[in-house]
Amino acid sequence: MNQFLVTLNFALSVTGPIVLVLVIGVFLARLGLLTGAFIDAGTRLVFNVTLPCLLFVTISQTRFEQTANLTLIAVGVFGTLALFLVAEAVAARLVDPPVDRGVVVQGIYRGNMAIIGLAYCVNAYGDVAIAAASLYIGLLSILYNVLAVITLSRSLDRRGSLRAVVTGIVMNPLIIGILTALPFAYFEVSLPDLLVQTGEYFAQMTLPLALLCIGGSLSLATLRLDSHNALIATLGKVLFAPTAMTCIALLAGLRGMELGILFMMSAAPTAASSYVMSRAMGGNGPLSANIVVLTTIGSVLFTSLGITLLHLGELM
């Protein structure tokens, strides 16, 4: 019993701070201290400046072998493709009307790795997890965007622009930050202290600011719990996705921090960018927003349970 309580305390130490910051964001928004303009500007600042700085500084100061974990990346890519195909099959049978199928599929496979997933990993393993997860985040982000265009185009009977997808990937600040840092890690080039310290100032504000903005943008008023399609996506993202990805990782021989990173990345809630892409392509925006809110709530609960079970089994 004592071991269980110790393990549960560890799990809550990973998810608890994230929940508190999200809740603080909700209350600050209700008080008017986090305005819509601030949340929009803060989100853009995180995505375009502070998060790329965090990834660049961490990767550039880390040995290349710690960032290029090919087994972890291979499991992530294979697992995501398998999850995508299963989600497509489930949506074809259970989601109606057909135009909502792409939104549901995207809600199941597309996780908020760069913010909440990374925050889980940092709370569990410290800054070393940033380097270990960075290339995984970069490559999976590319795959996420390609699959999103495929599933939304299919369900909406539209042709996605390949040029727009490629441009979005090439100009993605997170991917630029990761790829720019890799040569420094590979050749073990030391950056000037002035540049490192300046980058760390930006890096240190990334996760708190991002979580506050996410919390401030959550709107329970728009949530429709009776949405059949939203519940399908939520169960798929919160329960099936991390369970399936963890099983694949175990079969591939991943253990310890690598298994923990893969579980927590796959247990992260649906990315808010799925809502943006759904609206941009003419999909069901309210459904996508409901999925983001529901999976954010459910992710914290299931992630705590999953960490507890994996820790008790001495797997992570």
1-50 pLDDT tens trace: 677 777 878 888 999 999 899 999 989 999 999 998 998 899 889 988 99
State how far the Cα of 149 lies from the Cα of 280, in Å rounded to an integer: 11
Cβ-count burial of 230 within 10 angstroms (0-12 exposed, 13-18 middle, 19+ buried)? buried
3-state helix, strand, coil in the chain (%, to 5): 85, 0, 15
Token reading at 286: 């309210």
The pLDDT tens digits for 104-126 are 999 999 999 999 999 999 999 99
Mean pLDDT in the chain?
89
Q: Would residue 129 be called left, alpha or beta, if left means φ above 0 and alpha means ψ between -120 and 50 degrees?
A: alpha
Give the model's pLDDT for residue 10. 85
Check if the beta carbon of residue 90 is closer than 8 Å to that of residue 219: no
Check if the beta carbon of residue 216 is closer than 8 Å to that of residue 25: yes
Cβ-count burial of 37 within 10 angstroms (0-12 exposed, 13-18 middle, 19+ buried)? exposed
Give the model's pLDDT for residue 165. 66
* Angle, helix 285-312 to helix 228-235, in steps of 10 degrees: 30
Check if the beta carbon of residue 67 is closer than 8 Å to that of residue 137: no
Phi, psi torsion values for 111, nearest 5 degrees: -100, 155
Residue with tokens 């991390």: 242
Domains and CATH numbers, the chain: 2-312 (1.20.1530.20)
Give the model's pLDDT for residue 167. 77
Token reading at 258: 């690598």
State how far the Cα of 117 lies from the Cα of 133, in Å rounded to an integer: 9
Token reading at 274: 């799925």
